[in-house]
Structure 1
């Protein structure tokens, strides 16, 4: 019997000694977390690449609208899973029910060592790059900022749920207000003063969608806070729909502002589209403002990723004795302290790896992408499997147009898995190798349990 099952039996007889997750997150808290995760560095990096492959103003906006629609399809699938199985382990729990402990263990291992920790390090590197534009700390300035951000935000989340969620709410509010200010400035500008460029490279619409969906990534983190949302049967779905609606609106507006202020050709050739827009209007102060805004955005996304990431580690610790030290939830601050500490340590190790390669952001993208899309695909398949295997379970929400909606979601995930393997480098091989290292760990854990 696992520790999770022991917890369930103890709770049934009313023991007050076992600390478990509380339903402490309101609907605005959940929306702030999801929006905070999704709107990170992507919207400042990928619009130029999308414009280059789209080739026209209408096509650019259409791509971002389609990205929101695809995210909505995925969110509907996750809403059924999260409302039917509101477990703190999120996808880990869905995969365990659908495919067994082996696949679930590999996912939790991958999330702990590659997916979530790699995302934390990636975001922290972007924060470090732009914070260094404001105040440089020497040769390794971006890495120093990245390490400090991870350490401080992990400490905030260990202090308690209230501190972590209020930090996230403030950071999300700041980034949304900042982005709206850029939108207003861009929409009141014209493209007359922009730099001359050659032309766009239109036609590769598939690659354009890869970059669009990279910028939309992160809404799936709602699965990991499902057990802590108040009135979750209603608020899980509402938080996903509201978040994706807000994100899509902001992405459409910010790209419209880029197009209005720079024009599609200038936008396509820009290496820092937001900075070029602000520099063309406000000069150096405008570039400083954008650097500060991007630093805030990435800091908010880093905090939200730290917050949700430790929940899977906690679930892993409950089910596998090898990681049992992570399966403890502190009652007073309502946090998985040991899971947060291990997550922070691994993320700091990846910061060191990125520093050694001298390409922190690129290394982390390569490291995480194939593994992320592989397990994202499995989560979509798990919905199909669980519908067939457990038809008797009451579902507060059923994905519409079943099975076509989840099949469409799986097809998108499969395409992005293929693309991430084709377009990434050595970092992808390292990420896959780290996940594969979890197989002997699982077998060893099973051997220890049989001996016990």
Structure 2
């Protein structure tokens, strides 16, 4: 791996420093994971599983798999702390070509696409509060991307403070929804008995795709591993605490929705959170939920920006043609240029997304196949690095090795298969191939540039 270059961006150049508190780190992880998805996927999972017992079991299993993956990441992050996160792990295990393709996918689709999608969710809810005209959703989407980029350019302290505040608001909103579900529980039609019918394995896989999409983001903790106060020892409890909190919150929300709407009502609902709060607290309750949902999208965008810019920064460290992104402003504690690149790509996707159909489902088709393939490779990198460097000091070792990483890798492989199958059923499987094909072309051009520079 290349060393961090000595650069001067006009202020102070440097590299990541330990500025994040444990609370801020937990807020960033929770804020990434608990996003707008929890307001949409419960209905889809209820419809797919068709059974309240299996519905809750899938959500619990999603938390278990996320914890298994997080423990694998904890070993990698504490042994090889780096602002590049899983990009760095893939580079160590499989070389810079594989890690480049992953960083390419994150920069062009995974992170920036998530930012664009969440920006539209934010725009939809904010337009109900302040309507800005026929293109209100898109205008709000652009404004939030620009505003949050500006906040993050101020520095990591400002971004972390905003993240902590918004995470509190976000969790408060989910508590609000949960209370509403239990308040109107006597109005819900009866649901079938738990585990009275078992969905086919293929449908269980599809349900897990949506559940783990909603859990998605826990792996981003690796990107802040080099900036957390307390060093390597702090990473493990931060990750475990974050995943545990997220799993508890998700189970409570799903039980409340099931209690308030019943299985059939939940499966048929298009806006579960608004519907349940409207029933419990009237019109003003539904409007208040709209603000909480907007705050949820806001929180996820901010957290995704924090870790996404660090992925771009790590990419710039290792490729001369992209070295302009490897400038770290020590005074602000942030990769300024990497943020600007990310913002530009996100705004471009906002423009493209304005003309597309349902953005949530399109993003699943677009990102899931690529995401799960690379997450599988990260899991495999744990085995590769243990075999290649058996004597390296590991401050934390994943428990129940090799069973825990095997469980994680098998699940990733199955979800990659399920994601490809789902995308193919929607005639969208070719999109992932285009993304990776473009990444291969970019890789070749970077190689040519590097070779020419070294002559």
TM-score range, shorter chain: over 0.9
Structure 2 residue aligned with 1:211? 210
Structure 2 residue aligned with 1:189? 184
SS at match of 1:283: helix
CA contact (8 A) 1:114 1:435 kept: no
CA distance in 2, matches of 1:385, 1:443: 26
SS at match of 1:228: coil
Structure 1 residue aligned with 2:39? 44
Q: Quick one: structure 1 residues 172 and 17, their matched pair in 2 at CA, closer, same or farther if it must change by over 3 Å?
A: closer
CA contact (8 A) 1:52 1:202 kept: no
Q: Could you list the runs of 5+ residues in structure 1 that have no partner in the other structure?
A: 9-15
Structure 2 residue aligned with 1:430? 431
Structure 1 residue aligned with 2:285? 286
Structure 2 residue aligned with 1:354? 353
SS at match of 1:329: coil
User: Normalized against structure 2, the TM-score is what?
Assistant: 0.92
CA distance in 1, matches of 2:363, 2:14: 35
Say whether residues 1:420 and 2:419 are aligned partners.
yes
CA contact (8 A) 2:83 2:310 kept: yes
* 1:450, distance to aligned residue in structure 2 (A): 2.4
CA distance in 2, matches of 1:429, 1:372: 15
Q: Which region of structure 1 is more displaced relative to structure 2, 206-215 or 323-332?
A: 206-215
- The number of residues matched between the two structures is 442
Q: Quick one: structure 1 residues 349 and 201, their matched pair in 2 at CA, closer, same or farther if it must change by over 3 Å?
A: farther
Q: Could you list the runs of 5+ residues in structure 2 that have no partner in the other structure?
A: none
Say whether residues 1:84 and 2:79 are aligned partners.
yes
CA distance in 2, matches of 1:432, 1:86: 31
Say whether residues 1:163 and 2:158 are aligned partners.
yes
Structure 2 residue aligned with 1:446? 447
* 1:53, distance to aligned residue in structure 2 (A): 3.0
CA contact (8 A) 1:20 1:331 kept: yes
CA contact (8 A) 2:84 2:310 kept: yes
CA contact (8 A) 1:354 1:364 kept: no
Q: CA RMSD in A?
A: 2.3
Q: Quick one: structure 1 residues 194 and 135, their matched pair in 2 at CA, closer, same or farther if it must change by over 3 Å?
A: farther
CA contact (8 A) 2:22 2:228 kept: yes
Trace 1:376-387 onto structure 2 (pairs within 5 A): 376-387=375-386
User: Normalized against structure 1, the TM-score is what?
Assistant: 0.93
CA contact (8 A) 1:126 1:361 kept: no
* 1:342, distance to aligned residue in structure 2 (A): 0.3
Listed one character per residue, the Cα deviations across residues 328-370 of structure 1 (whole Å, up to 9, x for unaligned) are 1012111100000000000000111111224433333322221
Q: Which region of structure 1 is more displaced relative to structure 2, 350-359 or 67-76?
A: 350-359
CA distance in 2, matches of 1:279, 1:448: 58
Structure 2 residue aligned with 1:12? none
Q: Quick one: structure 1 residues 17 and 163, their matched pair in 2 at CA, closer, same or farther if it must change by over 3 Å?
A: closer
SS at match of 1:77: helix
* 1:432, distance to aligned residue in structure 2 (A): 3.1
